[in-house]
Amino acid sequence: MRKIIKYTSIIVLVGLLVVAAICAYIYFIVAEAPQNFATNQFIEIEKGSSLSKVATQLEEKQIISSADLFKLGVYITGRQDQIKSGTYYFTEPIRVEEVVSKIINGSFEVPTERVTILEGHAAYQFAPAIARVLPEVDTDTFLSLIRAENKEGYLYPDTYFFPQNATEEDVLRIMERNFEKKIEPLQGLIASSKYSLPEILTMASLVENEAGSASYETKQNVAGVLWKRVDVGIPIQADAVFSYIFQKHLPRVLLSHLEVDSPYNIYKKTGLPPGPIGNPSIDSIRATLEPIVTDNLFYLTGFDGKFYYAKTNGGHEQNRRLHLNYRK
């Protein structure tokens, strides 16, 4: 009886192995790339994506013909918890098992172009640099897209490695996702703030352009002065807005600039400008959320690079006499 059971077990095991082998053979035979495979395609797999989400994404992008077949291939490897997030590049049709291998091993193979976006820079400043290295990106089209979606201030300044054939939409989404990732640790402060996120980013863009190279504490003090001016209802009068208004770098602000008719002219109007004048760093955003508020309503940067504060216009004028270089 024991021998019968033993032989039966062996036969069952062999049978299962044969069935598994046949299934695997069928899987690898039928798992050809779809006829409409999207060549030279970039696929962004977000961190934390489920296997089902990735499979559906690949099927929708015409990288695989069957989401279920892809999931089966991943289950066969036993590595369904090892999907690597990131941007993948598919140059030519490949079989589903090759797609599986690519995704679980993180074989991105993405040709990229490096672009560094400086802290505080507005879209008009960095868009031409991106267009110069990415053939699918047009400066004017990119700027129009940013304006249409009101994304100024939401495009985090950083060093990016953009896919070589990225479009304006691709670049915008990559920068936007980076912003969301960077700002995530500040969500508690944002939620408890009396200001909205657009207001916070608008103020942070002013702080960045007014005190970008200064210490974090200086940024907090500058933010405190600017918020106080908003709260008491006097014009902010930050010179940084004029380069944004004229969409070019102004080495100095002239009296004629102060008279420009623009909603961004915060010398003539009270409150914040309509939106960010650039894309602030995380330090400037945090400083805007954690300002050092005092009785000071004025500040200036002396010729020695230090910031000097005053409570009254008289004190501000005294600081101008003491700390500004009036060389002509």
Residue 190 placed within a domain: no
Low pLDDT (below 70) residues in the chain: 1-33, 35, 38-40, 325-328
Residue 328 placed within a domain: no
Give counts: helices (H), strands (E), the chain.
Answer: 14, 6
Residue 189 placed within a domain: no
Count of domains in the chain? 4
pLDDT value of residue 249: 87
pLDDT value of residue 192: 96
Q: Mark whether 106 and 117 lie in a shared domain.
A: no
Domain enclosing residue 152, as ranges: 112-184
Q: Over the stretch 299-308, which tens digit does the pLDDT of each residue have?
A: 999 988 899 9
Q: Mark whether 56 and 136 lie in a shared domain.
A: no
Given a contact cutoff of 8 angstroms between Cβ atoms, the answer to whether 208 and 119 are in contact is yes
Given a contact cutoff of 8 angstroms between Cβ atoms, the answer to whether 323 and 304 are in contact is yes
* Secondary structure class of 201 (helix, strand, coil): helix
DSSP string across 236-297 = ---TTHHHHHHTS--SS--HHHHT---TT-TTTS-S--SS-SS---HHHHHHHHS----S--
pLDDT value of residue 3: 55
Domain boundary among 184, 216, 241: 184
pLDDT value of residue 77: 87
Residue 55 placed within a domain: yes
Give the whole-angstrom CA distance, residue 84 versus residue 107: 9
Which residue's structure tokens are 């999907």?
A: 83
